[in-house]
Structure 1
Amino acid sequence: MNSENTAILGPGWGLGKFLTFFENPVEVVIMKGSIRRFFRKLSTLLDDGLIGIGYFGYELSQDFLPVRFRANKLKIGIPPSAFMFFDGGAKISKMFVGKDGETKIEPTIEKREFLRMVERIKEYIAKGDVYEVNISQRFDFVSSCKPLEIFSNLIRAQPAPFTCFLDFSDFQIISGSMELFLKRNGKRIMTRPIKGTRPRHPNVRIDREMVKDLRESEKERAENLMIVDLMRNDLSKVCEFGSVRVTKLFEVEGFSTLYQMFSEVIGRLRNGMSLQDILVATFPPGSVTGAPKVRAMEIIEELEPHRREPYCGATAVVMPTGDFTMSVAIRTMAMRNGYGAFWVGGGITWDSDPEAEYDETVVKAVATCKALGLEKLEV
């Protein structure tokens, strides 16, 4: 299987029960200038009946939110957003088994720095600046594994609905996201924010206790509810008055290495709402910023020494009809020529314990490390 200028999508994208493979794009669009020109190009290609598959990077939001990003960019140079446009795809029933290669991972910050960031956020919360902030740390790596092999390993380590492999020839985005950011079907729009994590355990009794503990955790429920309220507010900017409602609250879903708590919000879009209109109202996803969104993003920019780039943005499939599905780009890697990076993070609230928050990020990194041929994150 030739991976250059290809896309492979998991079952959550609604294109098939297994994996869907796209190759030989009609056109590849890399964002280099203004956001308006970028969206005009996307719109033109969609009007031509093509399917757009790509990503919107986190820092894209500086074009429509009063936040400026000054932190260091990735040395491997990943564009702020990019899309491939195809006229169709083919189904894949299974992937080949990826090979384990040599991988070396280096944190960009020490554990004590992460703990210090958590404490600083709690100070901001105490002063009333913010209710919740999602903070992250980045790990850089060099690997002899090929990107497609890493993707194959990832979907075996932790199958997730919104897995995707985007190969833009000279760089790759690999995502094992389980979080739906936005799904548009006609005038109906839905979001399913995730907040709340517990690790899986091989002992069945302890594993059940993990589910119970997550479901009953006041901290996790409060954290989840804050983001639900934020997403309700964001959707109300583009939806008909009174149509936005919560359809699921504090549900727990299990994956191979962890449990996650999610809720669901739906609404009915106003007439004439475009892809750009909806992104301006909702991006970046509230579950990976905090509340209030802009102030949380300002604190993130102050504390995190690195840009997020594809991480915490959105991977997306956009149909020529205007319907689309976007996932929150968590559990996501960026690669170029054997060098890469991945990020892990979590939401910080007033009652967050810094050590526990750090441990949660380590749990979230397990599947990524297995995909890179390592059993766990060595920190």
Structure 2
Amino acid sequence: MTPRGSPAAGPEPSTCLFEDRLAGRSLRLLDPVARIAVHRRDELPAAWDAIESARRAGHWVALLLDYELGEWLEPGAADPADAGARDALPRLTALVHARAAWGACRGEEGPDSAGPADRTDAAGRTERPGSAGGADGMQRPDGGRVPDGLADARGLPWRPDPRPGVSRARHAQAIEAVRAGIARGDYYQINYTLPLRLDWPAGLDPARAYAWLAERHPVAHAACVRDGERWVLSLSPELFVAREGARLRVRPMKGTAPRHADPAWDRQAAEALQRSVKNRAENLMIVDLLRNDLGRIAVPGSVRVPALFSLEAYPSVWTLTSTVEAEAPDAPLAEVLRALFPCGSVTGAPKIAAMRAIRALEARRRGIYCGSVGWLAPDGDFSLNVAIRTIELRGGRAEFGVGGGIVYDSRAAEEWEECLWKARVLNPE
């Protein structure tokens, strides 16, 4: 574990902004005091202790959890060659801050536009705005907004020009390999992904790029986080897990269809998605997986599914989302992550077999993509997204992952096209 940020040395500058652009509110973490980075599995216990100590001291913590952290949390999914190895890049990064401020996401009028003032108390804790949606704050879209404290999003001269990091032929081979594994009974579903490389102009401010994208694609679990030279710009619509008091909530998103400019076609696409046997099967498999994961830490009998196959509209896609809740008053963050991470919607089912297959089939590590970005509050509440629709920028190199659930009925050509239209979130038009 690499702790940094003593009062003498001071941590590197950071940006930690979390937004629910559907409800119109934001959370900014302020006054960084420490950085905790985990490069080896045996560093995890000390890291959990340090994070918990920071929380109990009244600090707020931003969390960057790479997908591959799951191989350290679930021994059955680990790569045997990985035992004791030190990763060059951390799989868990915790950015500790002295205080935080809740505020409104403000419109294009700029930082002086009207809106509720940020609210913090003298001790650095915040008064959290009330929300009918709970800790995850999921609401219906109410238009694009620009974040507090970041650059205005208007007129950004940028075309990401996403390019697949694997060939179409290799993608097709992987899909057929997944189908063969399903036929053998190795697993029921695999979430297969591929990286897209993005053009990133040398002078482009990542905070401005985030604002520009988030204005056009408002979601409930957006984040803009800087950790040294690394930036994570997340436009995720999917909640991984949130705690509010004793209650845990997960909202897996499985089943996606493109939007259409023609209203009649658009409605037909939505109705077809909600009727789709394939997409419902994918969604239900993950709901069952997450019910089982939550059951490992929940009060017996408290796991329930208040919403199944909910249809949600976003600027470029329709999605099917379900909600699973449980009571787990005594489970700290580390225990919750050991039970649930990574989210079943980005692995497949059964989870351990799916994670092994993903490691064997995918071209490279996922990194933050399909991992999680979120925050931990001093009172123990937290909110973590599923880091889909997320740009990771490091050293001038930008990547954006895409993928989808593969079942036996999947066809490689259709899955390839789905990956490409999922990247429309980057479209500047």
Aligned to 1:260: 319
Aligned to 1:22: 29
**Residues 138 and 343 in structure 1, CA contact (< 8 A), matched pair in contact too:** yes
d(CA) in 2 for partners of 1:54, 1:300: 24
Q: 1:268 to 1:12 in 2, by over 3 A?
A: farther
C-alpha deviation, 1:252, in angstroms: 0.5
C-alpha deviation, 1:143, in angstroms: 0.7
Q: Does 1:172 align with 2:231?
A: yes
- Taking structure 1 as the reference length, what is the TM-score of the superposition? 0.90
Q: 1:4 to 1:150 in 2, by over 3 A?
A: farther
Aligned to 2:78: 68
1:1-379 aligned within 5 A: 4-11=13-20, 17-33=24-40, 34-65=43-74, 66-69=76-79, 78-86=89-97, 87-89=99-101, 91=103, 92-94=105-107, 95=146, 96-97=152-153, 99-101=156-158, 103=160, 105-144=162-201, 145-269=204-328, 271-367=329-425, 369-370=426-427, 373=428
**Residues 9 and 19 in structure 1, CA contact (< 8 A), matched pair in contact too:** yes
1:270-325 CA-to-partner distances (Å, cap 9, x unmatched) read x5311111110111100000000000111111100110111111112111111111
**Residues 27 and 101 in structure 2, CA contact (< 8 A), matched pair in contact too:** yes
C-alpha deviation, 1:4, in angstroms: 4.2
d(CA) in 2 for partners of 1:214, 1:61: 30
Structure number with bigger Rg: 2
Q: Which amino acid aligns with 2:33?
A: V
Q: Give the secondary-structure state (helix, strand or coil) at the position aligned to 1:196.
A: strand
1:231-289 CA-to-partner distances (Å, cap 9, x unmatched) read 000000000111111111111100000011011111111x5311111110111100000
**Residues 192 and 264 in structure 1, CA contact (< 8 A), matched pair in contact too:** yes
Q: Which amino acid aligns with 1:54?
A: L
Count, aligned residues: 361
d(CA) in 1 for partners of 2:406, 2:49: 37
Q: Which amino acid aligns with 2:106?
A: S
Percent identity, aligned pairs only, is: 31
1:151-174 CA-to-partner distances (Å, cap 9, x unmatched) read 012112311111100011311111
1:338-372 CA-to-partner distances (Å, cap 9, x unmatched) read 211110000000111211111111111111x33xx
Q: Give the secondary-structure state (helix, strand or coil) at the position aligned to 1:365.
A: helix
Q: 1:114 to 1:253 in 2, by over 3 A?
A: same
**Residues 19 and 93 in structure 1, CA contact (< 8 A), matched pair in contact too:** no
**Residues 142 and 338 in structure 1, CA contact (< 8 A), matched pair in contact too:** no
Q: Give the secondary-structure state (helix, strand or coil) at the position aligned to 2:325.
A: strand
C-alpha deviation, 1:82, in angstroms: 1.3
d(CA) in 2 for partners of 1:296, 1:266: 24
Gaps of 5+ in 1: 72-76
Q: 1:352 to 1:240 in 2, by over 3 A?
A: same
**Residues 375 and 383 in structure 2, CA contact (< 8 A), matched pair in contact too:** yes
Q: Give the secondary-structure state (helix, strand or coil) at the position aligned to 2:366.
A: coil
Gaps of 5+ in 2: 1-11, 83-87, 108-145, 147-151
Q: Give the secondary-structure state (helix, strand or coil) at the position aligned to 2:421.
A: helix
Q: Give the secondary-structure state (helix, strand or coil) at the position aligned to 2:32.
A: coil
Q: 1:226 to 1:90 in 2, by over 3 A?
A: closer
Aligned to 1:74: none
**Residues 73 and 341 in structure 2, CA contact (< 8 A), matched pair in contact too:** no
1:179-205 CA-to-partner distances (Å, cap 9, x unmatched) read 011111121111110100011101000
Q: Give the secondary-structure state (helix, strand or coil) at the position aligned to 1:346.
A: strand
Q: Give the secondary-structure state (helix, strand or coil) at the position aligned to 1:88.
A: strand
Q: 1:262 to 1:300 in 2, by over 3 A?
A: same
